[in-house]
Every structure is written in structure tokens, then in C-alpha cells.
Structure 1
């Protein structure tokens, strides 16, 4: 999806990009050096400059399917620690805490489902089934890495010694809310509650502009597409897995999940078209919000860009502190604004796309994603690199 060429990207100091890339290369090398000969082929893939490797790099998921790479459960404790040290280089402190909390939720979900969901494996809800894969050699002019598993997808690209992309960045939570002794665990509490506060603050005219649909769509609309384009509608559950199951009964389970989700939303094809992703964005623009509402919108954006390493998060904060930049941001809502009810929201400008849904499992199963409409996977920078290399 093309962006508006007149809209500048957030200015990110080169020193920050270089420092992050160096930390990633050091951590990735330490992890790879620790692996056995039989593990390396799973962990280390070809460079993103290789077409087959690039196709695999762009194939990402947020379902409990096989994500590609070396799973945490297949590594020794020391190797797991080195893997997580690499993961931490791609996240802020709060982002890392959120990601690791979501991974731990697999144990809670296993109990919630009566220990019965298996997805063709010995254990269907497994905190060890998060896969790490490196594309190219750390320190090469072009290399990348990703962590993927149920409700987590982190994607990072380094070009010429600089971290150039950290999106798509997906974090979900199932259950979205669970009781603790003396409290409640809600990994995505900030993004959900801040958006709801903004939606509930809108007056009748503002809400008419912001409302995408009276009912919530059952999943994020962009799905796991490698590219987001004008007119994209929600992907169905069957398309969010790496192929079909060997057991046809599991394909029927996925079909049933999709049918229940669609029945819950009540959506028809025309409803899906109504909430399709568009350029220009749908929803109410920042310029039509009050000062307090604009503060909430800035806070909401920061809760997504704040997943990234601090130097990058700070650059986004500075960018959206500018009134001109915030004027271009649109906020859209679908569903009820009451807590505990199914809902979906979208935040979008010519570059930024944020989506959040909490509809499944009686509105206790949330998905959230941060994407860059002009540079997901760093594809624009990679294209420039290829073009420059071809003329050398």
C-alpha cells in the first residue's frame, strides 16, 4: 500500500539504529555458536537476498502453527537463555516483559481448555513452541531474524549495519484477562483501556465519524499478509495456518472456529467490505479531536511503538508530538464501548497501521498488531539496497 510521499517518516538517529544492530548481531552470533550441528539448519536460513529465503521471511503467523526455525523447547536451558537475549534486543523493557508474559499464558490457556487441545502435537498449548530463526549471517550487509509462536510475531531486518525494520509486530493474549491472587493479569490492558477511553470520550458527531461498524469484526483485518493494501478485508481462520493438517479432523476444528467467530460477529461480505482497510483511512482524524482526546490518541500510538527498543520508541514519540503528524492519524472503532464486550479498533495514517480486536472467547481473547504500511519487513530499504547493488 503506497503512502503519501509528502509525509515524512519518524526521524531515527543513525547511531541508535547502529547500536541496536550491533547488539542484535552479537546476541545472534552467541546463540548460533552455541547450537549443535543438527540444530543449525533449523536456526540459520539463507540471506533475505535469496528469493526462497525472502519468501519464507515474509511468511508469518500468529496462530499455534509451525512458524519455522528452532523451537525453544528443543534447546538446552543455556541455549534458551541466549535465544531470549536476542529477543530482548528487539524490544523495549516493557515490550520484552509483555512478550514473555504472553508466552507463559500458554500454560493458563492449556488449563482453561481442559488440557484437551493438541493441534496434532503432544501438547497443543506449549510455551516451548516459539521458534527463532535467523536469515543470513549476523553482521552481513543484509540479515534478519524473527521470533514466532502462538500470539507472538517479531520481525527485524538489518541493512548496512543498521536496524531498519521491526514490523510486523504482533502480540496477542488468550486469555486476555485472568485472575491472580489479589489481582488480575491483563497483558494488553493499556492498549485496550486507552482506546476504550478515547472511544467513550467521543461526542455523538465524533462517534459517527469514528464508528466503522456497530459490531466488531472477529479478527484483525490485515491478518498475516506480507503486504497490506487498499481494500483488504479480514482473512479467515483457515488462511492463517502453515498449510493443512495431516489429520482432517483438525481442519474441521479450524473451520468450526471460523464459523463460530463469523456467527458471533454476524458479518456478511458487505459487512467485511465496510471495515476493509482503505487509503485514505477510515475513522475520525486527529485534527477533529479535542486536546484531551489527542493526548489519548498519542498515548495509544505510543503503547504500540513503545514495544520497540527505546531509541526507536523515542523517535516515534517525537514524531507524533508534532500536531501536523497527529492530524493525519485516524481512529476507528467497531462494536460496543462497554468493557467486556466484543470490540475492534484501528489507528492509521499514511505509514502507521495499528489494529486490535477482543472478540473471541466471550471477548477474552485479544489480538494486536503494529505495522508500517510503507516499510513492513523493511521491504523499501531492501529494494533500495538491491537497486544500488545492481549499479555497483
Structure 2
């Protein structure tokens, strides 16, 4: 990049809607004013905390992260205590169980999941499960999760088929927990005083529902704005194939090697284009709490923002199948 982006610069960008700041954020523009879904499977009594974040792929540690890990453990314990014995058995696995590395983004009918689904919880238990998710995410991350879940109604899927699974004993390392269903997979593993938040998956289908909800609007459109802003020379590097990819690159593997670098480096983009790269990064990553955000923003900068690359495959027209990839030394 032409200049180094400091944390202060990132916060300034947040005033433009790219990064909501490290102390608080406002809900994204939506078709509805409510922060929580209006249909019955979800709690209406749980307040949504103010937070933003920028997570990464490597576990993070530190005093603030330790507080977060304690909060997550406390809420996970409350969730387990709200269940009866048979429910606890269903939701609980040992940390070394092979179930720990199973994950998928598809519908439950195509991929049987283990854990306790929302549909088998009583209202107070469901409240405890959502409170655990709320504690583990930022306001933005919680809202995006709720938006993705709400789209299941448009697809004719059961929005209560999201499963909560706890691995090990909360607060006794190693331990972790997972929330997973169609197009949403979030996991939080705590080991050696560090918190890991990957892999995670966010998906939106339909991209716009009948009520106008766009669960992942800027993730798509900021990337499209970027690729359409490229000049001919930049497109020759940034667009690595004319047709979109036919399958997910890494699939749902538990362990993947770093991908080969493709696309155009941020150092070869103008300032406006660099801003769009950062917007896309933040839209994917600002879903977790602040301590993780700060740590991984620092790692990203230390490795060199200029080394981040953007690649596109497929047509440039809206509503056409396409693929894009952002990658750098740390993600």
C-alpha cells in the first residue's frame, strides 16, 4: 500500500461505516429496526452488547482476552446448568472427540449435526444459548448471525435447526464450544490461555429476501466495487479466470495449507481501492470482541498490509456467479 494504516486511521474509516470503532458500534442498516428476529424461536429479553472486532486465524491471548474467555466460560456454564441431564449429554463432548473437527455450512438434511438444536430447548434454555453466542460475538457479529438464521424462513427451512455443542468443561482448558447450522458456523476453542475462533463460515441465501434484508450486502458489493474499479492493467492481474469456481476451494476440511497467492497486491492499488480492500476485510472480520480485534489488526499490519492480495473469478455483472479471494501473510 502507499501508506501504513494505523489503528487510529482504521477508527477514522469506521466513521465512514467500514470499521465501527474499538469501543462501540451501531447496528447496520436493515429492513427492520429490531436487533433481534421477530419470530418465535429467539429470545427477546437478552440485551445486545456494544462491541466490534477484527479477529484472525491465530489464537490470541492477553489480559482483556482472559476476561473474555472467563465471560464465555461463565455463560457456557449457565447454558449447561439450564439443561436437564439428557440434554447435557446430547450437547456435551470431550475436547479430544473427533466431533471437534467436524463442521459444515450446508443444511442439516445434507449433513447430520451433533449437539443440542434450538428446537429441543425450552425458552429459558434458548435464552441461555443465545446469551452464550452474544457473549462470544460483537454486536455486529450477533446481528449478522441472527440475519443469516432468519433467512431460513425464506428457504422453508427450520430456523430452530441450529446446534449448540460444548467440548470439555467450560473454564477447564482445553475446552470450547460451537454454534452451527445452515450457512452459519462459529466456534470458540480455548487452549493454553489462548482463544481460537476458526474455522468460521458466514453465508447468505437468498442474498436479498422479500422484506429487503441483505445479510451480507457489503461483503458482496464492496468487492464488486473494487473489481470494477480496476483499470485494464490491474484487471489483467486481479482477475485470475473468467469463469467462477465450481466448488469451495478448501471445502470443510479441518486442516488446510496456505493457498497459493493469486491476484493483485494492495501495493498496486490506489487509495480508494485500498479502502475497499480494507472494507471487505473488516466486514468479514469485525464480528468478534475487541481484544481479538486489536490483536489481529496488529498482526495484519506487522505482516504488511501492502502484501494483501485481491483476486476475482467470474463475470463482473451483478447477480452472476462469482468468486473472490482476499489473502495475506496472516490470513
**TM-score band w.r.t. shorter chain:** 0.7 to 0.9
- Tell me the distance in 1 between the aligned counterparts of 2:298 and 2:279: 12
- 2:169 counterpart SS class: coil
Question: Are 1:56 and 2:99 counterparts?
Answer: yes
From 177, 181, 189, give the equivalent of 1:145: 177
Q: How does 1:131-142 map to 2 (within 5 A)?
A: 131-142=163-174
Q: How does 1:110-259 map to 2 (within 5 A)?
A: 110=156, 125-162=157-194, 164-180=195-211, 184-229=212-257
- Tell me the distance in 1 between the aligned counterparts of 2:59 and 2:106: 33
C-alpha displacement of 1:321? 5.3
Question: Are 1:348 and 2:299 counterparts?
Answer: no
- Tell me the distance in 2 between the aligned counterparts of 1:13 and 1:63: 32
Number of equivalences:
273
* Greater relative CO (CA pairs within 8 A, separation 6+): 2
From 122, 147, 152, give the equivalent of 1:106: 152
Unaligned runs of 5+ in 2: 1-55
- Tell me the distance in 2 between the aligned counterparts of 1:337 and 1:34: 50
C-alpha displacement of 1:161? 4.2
Q: TM-score, normalised by structure 2?
A: 0.78
For residues 122-159 of structure 1, give each alpha carbon's deviation from its aligned partner in whole angstroms, at most 9, with x where no partner exists.
xxx11111111010000102101111111111111112
- 2:262 counterpart SS class: coil
Q: How does 1:1-392 map to 2 (within 5 A)?
A: 14-47=62-95, 50=96, 53=97, 55-64=98-107, 65-110=111-156, 125-162=157-194, 164-180=195-211, 184-229=212-257, 277-278=259-260, 281-320=261-300, 325-352=304-331
- Tell me the distance in 2 between the aligned counterparts of 1:69 and 1:207: 45
CA shift in 2, pair 1:136/1:12, >3 Å = closer
- Tell me the distance in 2 between the aligned counterparts of 1:58 and 1:10: 16
- Tell me the distance in 1 between the aligned counterparts of 2:193 and 2:301: 28
Instruction: Give the structure with the higher percent helix.
Output: 1
